[in-house]
Chains A and B, each alone.
Chain A
Amino acid sequence: MSMEESERSYPQGELSGGGARMRGELSSASILAMVEMEIRRLMHDPSEIVARAVQPILWIVVFGVVMARRVLLGVEDYRSFIAPGVVFQSATFISLAYGIMMVFERESGILKRLLSTPTPRSSIVIGRALAGSIRASTQYVLVILSAFLVGAHFKTNAPLLIGGYLTVIYVCMGFTALSILIASLMKTRERFMGIIGAITMPLFFASNALYPISIMPTAIKIVALVNPLTYAVDMLRGMLLGLQANYMLDLISITAFNMLVIASSIKLLDRIIE
């Protein structure tokens, strides 16, 4: 045992018989290390999170409050209705912007070094996707809290609230991986920001975040139905407001999206440094 331990702490040479297990441990250890890196970074400088929370809070306290009085969307409590949508709008913004970090790390030597460590490519992508989604998930707390303060009503059920938080993390992993994928393909800050700018708002508007799918014109309805954000919002809305939601379909759609983007992102990661 002690022999094996000393080998593990200093990977000196030959691959031992326990290679596969070592690799497994190394993968999860490095995924967690990247999450830890992100959390430490957040603690040193939480200003991004706070700055990013301003816009969604305005959506709720201005847009939500005004719209609640003016328009009938077939929704009873509009402030509560849009809160889960605005959580995801804000969180996916952060997730989708996360790739800029990879562009930056491409220009510095961080990615070069990471790619030369024993950490598998898959752990780098999964680790960073999880790290980015944890950064993004802070919006859940800030937006739900501010919605609550302006009179939105949520199920105050701890398991559901925690479930909602985990949903946000899970969904944002996919969007962060998508951002890493775009970073690998675009490579420069300008091109990356261009693409991200082009997709974030449409993603938000062509979903059920602000209005129910039932009132959309057919063309937008189709877009909304292939938009993973729709399923994410449906799921969170169901949990927080106690509305009818198709959890199974939501979970399958989100999982399919996540697997697709994470796998593509792993496959194309090497391109980022070419």
Chain B
Amino acid sequence: MFAIEARDLVKVYSGNVVALNGVDLRVEEGASHAILGPNGAGKTTFIRIITTQIKPTSGSAKVFGYDVTSQAASVRRLIGYVPQEMSLWTDLTGYENMLIYSKIYGLEPGSRRKVIEELLELMELTDASRRLVKTYSGGMIRRLEIAIALMSRPRLLILDEPTIGLDPRARMMVWEKLLAYKKESNTTIFFATHYMDEADRYADRVTLIDKGKIVAEGAPRELKASLGSDKVIIKVQGNTNEARAYLLDNGYSVETNGNGELIVAAKNPAHVLPRVIEGLYSRGVAVLEARAVEATLDDVFIKLTGRRISEDEHGRVREVLSTRRAIRRGS
């Protein structure tokens, strides 16, 4: 049985906005599976259908065999969900948020306290738990939200952009905690992200989505091996023509990037790098900088769609951060 099984899922919002255009997606039980794509690709819509918030226009989706439309109540019992936007009452303390949600999730009164305390401990929030959530940092808010999603011991944990707007240290901590929990519980994790490195590092399988359609799926390593390419990036002194000519003569494919650097596709960049530098020197071309770069999921995405995943990332993150600030202030 699959944790998630979507068939030909279509969602058209009012105004004929096609958010999902025939999505087939399977998530294996026990996996950590990412759906990766630029903003507006349909990730959140897919998650909202899986979490029974909205109904698909056509097609079907099942969570552990239960249909998300006709058996929504059963689906809700199996999932834990952290939406992209903050889902806490900021004018309550961390502990109170957990307590209220534990009652909403129907936890047994006798075990509530223990469950809450264990999860606060796991997320390193015990000390902060008596403070109002208003005073929390972005990373603490995320960890508390995850703790709440784990209270009911979900078989499937669904996270929408779990680390958006967090600094690298806070991101790492969120994932450390998530993976520690996953290792212990074997919970299936399904997450949406537009950070390619996050999908690459923390997912066993990645689905790439663009404009409501799935463009590729596989283990990150496979995807990069089959569709991405490792490369060597070189910066030379003066004109690049001589260097270009040399590289082309030797059978390399060469491109130039916006910084005047030469990009050389290479299967094994660590080996190619010294040879290229040596060759260029022998032609009298001075190499100023050189580095070997491994393929990324972004390369895969560019190859498939012609666009980068994270084009307007800064605008989006700014927006999320300012919304968060407003929420914290305005509650």
Chain A: residues with CB nearer than 8 A to chain B? 5-6, 8-13, 15, 22-23, 25-26, 29-30, 32-34, 36-37, 40-41, 44-45, 104, 107-110, 112-120, 270, 273-274
| A107 proximity list for chain B (CB < 8 A) | 85, 323, 327
| Closest residue of B by beta carbon distance from A124 | B104
In the complex, the answer to whether A117 meets B64 with C-beta atoms within 8 Å is no
In the complex, the answer to whether A110 meets B54 with C-beta atoms within 8 Å is no
- Distance to closest chain A CB from B1 (angstroms): 11
| B70 proximity list for chain A (CB < 8 A) | none
| B101 proximity list for chain A (CB < 8 A) | 33, 117
In the complex, the answer to whether B81 meets A41 with C-beta atoms within 8 Å is no
Supply 23 A–B pairs (Cβ within 8 Å), ascending by A.
Answer: A11-B78, A11-B105, A12-B77, A13-B64, A13-B77, A29-B104, A30-B106, A36-B100, A37-B89, A37-B92, A37-B96, A40-B100, A41-B91, A104-B327, A107-B327, A108-B88, A113-B81, A115-B53, A117-B76, A117-B104, A118-B105, A120-B73, A274-B54
Contacts A30-B106, A116-B51, A117-B76: A109 and B96 contacting too (C-beta < 8 A)?
no
| B91 proximity list for chain A (CB < 8 A) | 41, 44-45
| B96 proximity list for chain A (CB < 8 A) | 37, 40
| Closest residue of B by beta carbon distance from A115 | B53
In the complex, the answer to whether A109 meets B87 with C-beta atoms within 8 Å is yes
Chain B: residues with CB nearer than 8 A to chain A? 13-14, 48, 51-54, 64, 73-74, 76-79, 81-89, 91-92, 96, 100-101, 103-108, 110-111, 115, 132, 148, 152-153, 155, 323, 327, 330-331
> Which A-B residue pairs are the 7 nearest by beta carbons?
A9-B108, A109-B83, A33-B103, A109-B87, A109-B85, A116-B51, A113-B87
In the complex, the answer to whether A5 meets B88 with C-beta atoms within 8 Å is no
| B330 proximity list for chain A (CB < 8 A) | 104
In the complex, the answer to whether A32 meets B87 with C-beta atoms within 8 Å is no
In the complex, the answer to whether A13 meets B155 with C-beta atoms within 8 Å is yes
Q: Is the interface of A mostly helix, strand, loop or mixed?
A: helix
Contacts A11-B152, A108-B87, A273-B54: A119 and B104 contacting too (C-beta < 8 A)?
yes
In the complex, the answer to whether A108 meets B327 with C-beta atoms within 8 Å is yes
Distance, CA A125 to CA B86, complexed state (A): 21
In the complex, the answer to whether B87 meets A44 with C-beta atoms within 8 Å is no
| Closest residue of B by beta carbon distance from A33 | B103
In the complex, the answer to whether B111 meets A9 with C-beta atoms within 8 Å is yes
In the complex, the answer to whether B103 meets A36 with C-beta atoms within 8 Å is yes
Contacts A37-B89, A37-B92, A44-B91: A9 and B107 contacting too (C-beta < 8 A)?
yes
